[in-house]
């Protein structure tokens, strides 16, 4: 049981380049999330999805796009990388909204540096 898998683990981008952060889960979870974690700060929600074909903005969506064509995959797209997007990105999934258990399963993160 792999849980939530994120690729790549590390990436260095030049300003203006684009890339896609991959996230896949094998738990058949409906809910998936993208967070960013800046040094010394709490995680911030970028985008989330409540099921295939449905996505919505979180707290800090500017500069990012997402898609959810399947239950398993939730890629995050950076179109024009900026230094402010240097961060660690975490993907997470959850079985259902309001689930009272432990709920969220996080991936291991992608450390992105924009220079």
Partner 1 sequence: KNQVEQSPQSLIILEGKNCTLQCNYTVSPFSNLRWYKQDTGRGPVSLTIMTFSENTKSNGRYTATLDADTKQSSLHITASQLSDSASYICVVRDSGGGADGLTFGKGTHLIIQP
Q: Which residues bind partner 1 (CB under 8 A)?
A: 4, 33, 40-45, 48, 56, 58-59, 90, 92, 100-104, 106-109
Q: How far lies 108's CA from each of 4, 5, 15, 52, 95, in Å?
A: 8, 7, 25, 23, 19
Residue 108 CB, nearest approach to partner 1 (Å): 5
Residue 85 CB, nearest approach to partner 1 (Å): 19
* Residue whose CB is less far from partner 1, 18 or 56: 56
* Residue whose CB is less far from partner 1, 56 or 79: 56
- Beta strand pairing call for 54-57 and 64-66: unpaired
DSSP class of residue 36 equals E
């Amino acid at each position: 049981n792999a849980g939530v898998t994120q690729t790549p683990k590390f990436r260095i981008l030049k300003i203006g380049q684009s890339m896609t952060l991959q996230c896949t889960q094998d738990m058949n979870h409906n809910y998936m999330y993208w967070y960013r974690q800046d040094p010394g700060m709490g995680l911030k929600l970028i985008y989330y999805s409540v099921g295939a074909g449905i996505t919505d903005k979180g707290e800090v969506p500017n500069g990012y796009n997402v898609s959810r064509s399947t239950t398993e995959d939730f890629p995050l797209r950076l179109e024009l990388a900026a230094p402010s997007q240097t961060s660690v990105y975490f993907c997470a999934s959850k079985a259902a909204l309001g689930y009272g258990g432990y709920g969220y399963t996080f991936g291991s993160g992608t450390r992105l540096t924009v220079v």
